[in-house]
Structure 1
Amino acid sequence: MSGRVSEQEGFAAMVLRLRGEGISNQSLLNAVEQTQRGHFTPPQFQADAYSQRTIPLDCGSFMEGYDFAVRLLHCLNLKSGQRILEVGTGSGFTAAVMGRIAERVLTIDRYQTLVATAQKNLEKSGVRNVIVRQADGSAGVPGEGTFDRILITAAFNSLPRMFSDHLVSGGTLVVPIMMSETHCRVVRVSRTGSRFDREDLFDAPYIPIVMQLASYL
């Protein structure tokens, strides 16, 4: 079986699984299909690129399973023309998918190793409107203004107000929250004027966010 056939089959299987959950956003699925996941998967895990398994990355990070990553992006309800912030770059896969829909994506990670690798992955994938930056994800993004959508992929103990303040009215924040020492759930926050509405969505495999930049990785 060629790599291309494997990619097509992996995508088709994921679409069938998520349709069973009511996820059928065509613009999102088109962007996912255009983004070769193999470009973002470490060489030793290529066989798992289109699986539901989490895939280890450098610096103790990981790549979400294929279904889970698309489910997260579905929760954002991405639209063309939006400005997106992602906290936790990882492999760069979710940033690449968002970049195919939105006007501009800023993605940050505390590890320079992941930032450099994600930049190379994005270049391989031909995505040019994603900015990758090393930054402390626990501190907000001072000076960057506001965003239409914010995706965070490291867990906070409570809703991070500094990121809520980066949302425009009508904006959406998706963030994992630690419900206990071992239980994490993805939460969606929608802003309307000065009001914030919260929805608890589903369990997630994330661990608590680590403050400050990594010095050596």
Structure 2
Amino acid sequence: MNAGGAGEEEDASGHLAERKMRFLFALRSHGVTDARVLSAMEAVDRGLFVRGIFAERAYEDMPLPIACGQTISQPSVVGVMTQALRVGPRDTVLEVGTGSGYQAAVLAQLARRVYTVDRWRRLVREAAEIFRALGLVNVTAMTGDGSFGLPDQAPFDRILVTAAAEDPPGPLMAQLKPGGIMVLPVGQSDHVQQLIRVTRTALGFDYEELRPVRFVPLVEGLGNG
């Protein structure tokens, strides 16, 4: 009986190891090669952020539904965005669009401090619970209208936006430090958007297009959930 139990545990751990190996392979095959980013994503179990009937698909490279009509981005997109942000260990990062909390947890492995804001109270509450369980003391989750950023905590070294705006929001641009980087999707919500990197320079802002993406729209105001 015990031997059978041990065998089942070995099978389960082997299956999990195989899924995680495929997970990392998918990241690399989509151009995520930065060693710090790969280590951060390996350290954060995406399975903790996917609940209900989709939990079994947590290690697949695909977006999945979460509460409040939102989604958890596919891991390769999280990896590409994180790599494009070029987060340093001394950086303070603002994330707009907490969602499941997965992206913020990855950023917490790389940055000194992470502030994450979402318009849905339920999502912020559930993400904060996971952050506490993981001991991520350098993440602060807040409910608010992310399109206006967090003026009281600004300026930021890095800003990551996980919802699409037609143009980079002015308040977020203003809260970026000189030399700072913002990565966000831009474009109409019903079309394929473009992921861009905005760098604040002494003369203004530089823009770089990275790849086509599709995100939920950036909506002003608070949600009802």
**TM-score category of the 2 structures, normalised to the smaller one:** over 0.9
**Bigger CA drift: 74-83 or 16-25?**
16-25
* 1:72 matches 2:81: yes
Which stretch has the larger CA shift, 178-187 or 66-75? 178-187
Please report how far the alpha carbon of residue 13 of structure 1 lies from its aligned counterpart in structure 2 after TM superposition: 1.9
Letter in 2 for 1:147: F
Contact 1:35–1:125 under 8 Å retained in 2: no
Q: Distance in 1 between matches of 2:189 and 2:65?
A: 24
Residue 197 (structure 2) aligns with: 188
Aligned match of 1:134: 143
- Corresponding residue pairs, total: 215
Of 78, 84, 87 in structure 1, the residue corresponding to residue 93 of structure 2 is 84
Deviations 1:121-179 (A, max 9, x none): 21222211100000001222222221111000111111212111111112110011015
**TM-score, normalising length: structure 1:** 0.92
8 Å contact from structure 1 (residues 96, 127) kept in 2:
yes
SS at match of 1:67: helix
**In terms of Rg, which structure is larger?**
2
d(CA) in 2 for partners of 1:162 and 1:94? 22
**CA distance, structure 2, for counterparts of residue 16 and residue 176 of structure 1:** 24
Worse overlay, 150-159 or 39-48:
39-48
Any idea what SS the aligned residue of 2:158 has?
Answer: strand
- The question of 1:60 aligning with 2:69 is answered yes
CA contact (8 A) 1:136 1:213 kept: yes
CA deviation string 1:102-133 (max 9, x = no partner): 11000000000100110112122221110000
* Distance in 1, Cα, partners of 2:196 & 2:182: 8
Q: CA contact under 8 A between 2:100 and 2:127: conserved in structure 1?
A: yes
Asked if 2 retains the 8 angstrom alpha-carbon contact of 1:109 and 1:133, the reply is yes
CA apart distance, 1:180: 7.2
What is the RMSD computed on CA atoms of the aligned residues? 1.6
Is 1:93 the counterpart of 2:102? The answer is yes
Could you give the per-residue CA deviations for residues 20-49 of structure 1, whole angstroms, max 9, x where no partner exists?
A: 444221111111111111111113212111
Q: Which amino acid aligns with 2:67?
A: D
1:45-97 per-residue CA deviation (whole Å, 9 max, x = no partner) reads 12111111211011111001122211111111111011000000011011011
- Give the match for residue 3 of structure 2: none
Q: Which has the higher helix share?
A: 2
Decide whether aligned partners of structure 1 residues 139 and 45 sit closer, same or farther in structure 2, where only a CA change above 3 A counts.
Answer: same
How far apart are the structure 1 equivalents of 2:115 and 2:156?
10
Report what 1:205 is aligned to.
214
Of stretches 105-114 and 197-206 in structure 1, the one that deviates more from structure 2 is: 197-206
Residue 157 of structure 1 is matched in structure 2 by: 166
Distance 1:213 1:199 in 2: 30
Query: Counterpart in 2 of 1:41?
Result: 50
| Structure 2: 5+ residue stretches without partners | 1-10
Q: Indicate if the aligned counterparts of 2:32 and 2:76 stay in contact, CA closer than 8 A.
A: no
